[in-house]
């Protein structure tokens, strides 16, 4: 296949931290780079570090009124602006103005959105579209550079489960989700891994902008499948915890019959799906209120064609 | 001959203490420390009201904080139990947690008085890798020390340690000081707002062993004296390095200290890894043991970890006082 997709140079790149104000690696890295951007500087690229939710960062909380990383819906972005809107909706509109408008040619080329999770997800890259060959090539590059450490790719393309993220304002949105780390805590190892992944990502952009052609490749991804809630009683109270056998086993196979939950009085509840799935976001603190104990994924291999700059 | 003399010296006079007829188990003192919240709710669901001859009271200490899954609403409830705060007059401006502390003092106390419950057991979680720690304000409360010894002997799935915060009773600020005897069970690591099954099960084991000991004690068992080890006394706190101009924290706890609570910290050992790559070393003169390493709730006080001295405590034989 000699087809090469051409993309414009990625000249405008943003790095978002503090989309959730208590996810400390991104907050710390972005604040560091706002003070001294030497580390993220790349020839021919404008790399802009940016704190997306400063009020939440100040209070060290996930959000003030509503989750910023769910706020970039068409409805919110096109709503008439006003002080009566929830803080995060106002913020989404501002961010859309600076880095977007979402879907337009003026939008930023790439946005990296830095997140932490209490789940044992390692360094996960989040991909929103299976057809974004630029992103696929970047993720392929990062995975190779990080090896033998792994960098799982979570594909959130799903008619119901996909959500409107802050990074979705850009042409090429990339989520970085690193865990496990408690909310409000900064762990050195987690901080340094996120820093290394970003370094490789920016290296890729620099090479691409210099004219390097990236040959066709394949990327193994985990496509999001189903949201699994905690078992609850008739009053909506949680009656079981993620089972010790499942806890911390993100990206490992969960087979029908495997333990899934443990009730507070010790009974095991088992997975009763039709086939093997790969759970992730297992026991993420922020998802208790979103009725999610974990999400199941299915393995898929995506093909990316060759790419080079226009 | 020397061994016998040593044993004789170590054998203290037997002690007899009144039965523990009223026991309280408290969860949700910090609203986002989930093991205790769910354990208390489970005890309430099972309608557990007695432990042998003792009556059991279960309390969600800070319901408002539990409701919003935060450590506290106005101020840390577990700093409100000093004599001074408990007796302070209530006005419109009084923080919620001060009022609640005074309510709990009525329910479980009054602190320091004859009407107080016999034993308060307060359940906590930490983001630090502290395994199972029992925390109290005295190493001469023989009830607490014998409970510690039983828990340490019976629980093998995690390390079990005792932490002493040496303060006179009037100045003890934690809820466990409401009872005639009191201690906290601190289990980690667990992120706040999360319930992990392994951590929940560990806390439940500790509570079960505590109630088991209480029943045995009340029914007349004799507990032999001896030594308990892995007792750590708080010495001082270590603070995060900050930029003098911006006041921002400039380093993370070094990977050689992170998750290594209770290990040894020698003079010259790394403590912090600056974001710029430099290492900040421990410059104290005494070899000490870090604990509460990277506890989320201590960032607001700028505390990275505490340091402790390790010791062994000799405890006397103990039996319930017969009328």
> For A241, which of B191, B195, B248 is closest by C-beta distance?
B195
Please indicate if the annotation marks B30 as binding a ligand. yes
Residue A242: band (very low, low, confident or very high) from pLDDT cuts 50, 70, 90: very high
Beta bridge partners of A116: A178
The pTM score is: 0.96
Rounded to whole angstroms, how far apart are CA atoms B299 and B152?
30
A114-145, pLDDT tens digit by residue? Answer: 999 999 999 999 999 999 999 999 999 999 99
Residue A232: strand, helix, or coil: strand
Q: Above 80 in pLDDT, residue A221?
A: yes
**pLDDT band, residue B12 (cuts 50/70/90):** confident
Contact B149, B315 (CB under 8 A): yes
CA torsion A273→A279→A285→A286, rounded to 10°? Answer: -80
Nearest CB to A247 within list B127, B196, B246: B196
Tell me the C-alpha distance between A308 and B10, whole Å: 79
pLDDT at A2 over 70: no
B186 is a catalytic site residue: yes
Indicate yes or no: CB of B191 within 8 angstroms of CB of A242. no
Q: Distance (Å, rounded) from C-alpha A92 to C-alpha A17?
A: 14
CB of B255 within 8 Å of a chain A CB? The answer is yes
Distance (Å) from the C-alpha of residue A87 to the closest C-alpha of chain B? 19
Share of chain B above pLDDT 90, in %: 94
The residues pairing with B162 across neighbouring beta strands, listed in sequence order, are: B134, B231
Helix axes A188-209, A24-35, angle to 10 degrees: 60
Three-state DSSP state, A30:
helix
Chain B contact for A291 (CB, 8 A cutoff): no
Instruction: Provide the pLDDT confidence category of residue B174 given band limits of 50, 70 and 90.
Output: very high
* pLDDT for res A160: 86
State the SS3 of B107-172.
HHCCCCCCCCCCEEEEEEECCCCCEEEEEECCCCCHHHHHHHHHHHHHCCCCCEEEEECCCCHHHC
Is this complex's ipTM strictly greater than 0.90? yes
Closest residue, chain B, to A243 (C-alpha):
B197
| Alpha-carbon gap: A130 to the closest alpha carbon of chain B (Å) | 32
pLDDT digits (tens, 9 = 90+) for A183-207: 999 999 999 999 999 999 999 999 9
User: A64 at the B interface (CB within 8 A)?
Assistant: no
Q: What is the pLDDT of residue B323?
A: 75
A283 and A179 Cβ atoms separated by less than 8 Å: no
pLDDT of B87 > 80? The answer is yes
Q: Identify the CA nearest to A230 among candidates A294, A307, A172.
A: A294
The residue whose two tokens read 């900040």 is B280
Contact across the interface for B198 and A185, Cβ inside 8 Å: no
pLDDT at A112 over 90: yes
Does an H or E element contain A290, and which?
Answer: none
Cβ–Cβ contact A243 with B under 8 A: yes
**Is residue A20 annotated as involved in ligand binding?**
yes
- Mean pLDDT, chain A, integer: 96
Nearest chain B Cα distance for residue A244, angstroms: 6
Contact assignment for A182 to B249 by CB distance below 8 Å: no
Residue B294 touches partner A, C-beta closer than 8 Å: yes
* Contact call for A118 and B191, based on CB within 8 A: yes
- Residues of A with catalytic roles: 177
The yes-or-no verdict on residue A72 having pLDDT over 90 is yes
What's the gap in Å between the CA of B270 and the closest CA on chain A? 13
Query: What proportion of chain A, given as a percentage, has pLDDT over 90?
Result: 94
Residue (of B179, B202, B187) closest to B57 by Cα position: B179
CA distance B70 to B89: 26
**Which chain A residues contact residue B42 at CB under 8 A?**
264-265
B249 and A191 in contact by Cβ < 8 A?
no
Is residue B3 very low, low, confident or very high in pLDDT (cuts 50, 70, 90)? Answer: low
Q: Which of A283, A286, A288 sits opposite B196 (nearest CB)?
A: A283
Closest CB from A185, A186, A243 relative to B197 = A243
């Amino acid at each position: 296949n000699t087809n090469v997709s051409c993309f414009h140079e990625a000249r405008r790149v943003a790095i978002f931290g503090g989309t959730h104000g208590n996810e400390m690696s991104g907050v710390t890295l972005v604040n560091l780079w706002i003070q001294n951007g030497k580390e993220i500087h790349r020839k021919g690229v404008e790399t802009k570090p940016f704190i997306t939710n400063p009020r939440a960062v100040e209070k060290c909380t996930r959000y003030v009124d509503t989750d910023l990383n769910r706020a970039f819906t068409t409805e919110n972005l096109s709503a008439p602006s006003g002080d009566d809107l929830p803080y995060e909706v106002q913020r989404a509109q501002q961010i859309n103005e600076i880095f977007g408008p979402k879907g337009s040619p003026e939008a930023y080329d790439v946005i990296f959105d830095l997140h932490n999770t209490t789940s044992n997800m390692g360094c996960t890259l989040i991909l929103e579209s299976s057809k974004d060959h630029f992103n696929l090539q970047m993720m392929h590059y990062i995975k190779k550079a990080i090896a033998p450490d792994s960098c799982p790719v979570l594909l959130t393309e799903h008619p119901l489960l996909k959500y409107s993220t802050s990074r979705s304002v850009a042409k090429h949105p990339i989520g970085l989700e690193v865990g496990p780390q408690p909310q409000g805590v900064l762990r050195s190892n987690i901080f340094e891994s996120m820093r290394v992944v970003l370094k490789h990502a920016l290296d890729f952009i620099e090479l691409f902008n210099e004219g390097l052609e990236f040959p066709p490749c394949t990327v193994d991804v985990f496509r999001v499948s189903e949201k699994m809630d905690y078992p609850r009683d008739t009053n909506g109270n949680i009656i079981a915890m993620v089972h010790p056998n499942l806890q911390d086993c993100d990206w490992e196979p969960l087979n029908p019959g495997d333990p899934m939950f443990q009730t507070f009085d010790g009974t095991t509840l088992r997975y009763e799906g039709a086939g093997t799935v790969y759970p992730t976001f297992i026991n993420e603190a922020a998802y208790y209120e979103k009725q999610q104990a974990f999400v199941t994924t299915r393995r898929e291999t995506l093909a990316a064609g060759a790419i080079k700059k226009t | 001959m020397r061994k016998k003399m040593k044993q004789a010296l170590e054998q203290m006079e037997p002690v007899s203490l009144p039965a523990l007829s009223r026991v309280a188990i408290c969860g949700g003192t910090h609203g986002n420390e989930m093991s205790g919240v769910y354990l208390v709710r489970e005890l309430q669901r099972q309608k557990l009201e007695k432990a042998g001859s003792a009556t059991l009271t279960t309390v969600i200490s800070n319901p408002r904080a539990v409701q919003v899954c935060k450590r506290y609403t106005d101020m840390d409830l577990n700093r409100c139990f000093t004599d001074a705060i408990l007796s302070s007059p209530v006005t419109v401006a009084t923080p919620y947690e001060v009022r609640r502390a005074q309510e709990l003092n009525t329910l479980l106390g009054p602190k320091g008085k004859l009407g107080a419950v016999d034993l308060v057991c307060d359940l906590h979680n930490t983001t630090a890798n502290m395994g199972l720690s029992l925390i109290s304000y005295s190493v001469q409360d023989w009830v607490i020390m014998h409970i510690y010894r039983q828990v340490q002997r019976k629980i093998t799935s995690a390390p079990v340690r005792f932490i002493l915060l040496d303060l006179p009773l009037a100045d003890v600020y934690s809820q466990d000081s409401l009872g005639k005897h009191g201690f906290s069970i601190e289990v980690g690591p667990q992120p706040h707002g999360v319930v992990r099954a392994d951590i929940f099960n560990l806390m439940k084991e500790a509570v079960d062993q505590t109630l088991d000991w209480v029943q045995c004690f009340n029914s007349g068992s004799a507990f032999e004296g001896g030594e308990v080890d892995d007792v750590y006394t708080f010495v001082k706190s270590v603070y995060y390095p900050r930029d003098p101009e911006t006041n921002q924290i400039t380093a993370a706890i070094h990977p050689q200290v992170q998750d290594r609570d209770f290990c040894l910290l020698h003079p010259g050992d790394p403590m912090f890894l600056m974001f710029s790559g430099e290492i900040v070393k421990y410059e104290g003169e005494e070899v000490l043991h870090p604990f509460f390493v990277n506890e989320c709730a201590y960032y607001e006080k700028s505390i990275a970890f505490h340091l402790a001295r390790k010791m062994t405590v000799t405890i006397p034989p103990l039996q319930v006082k017969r009328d």
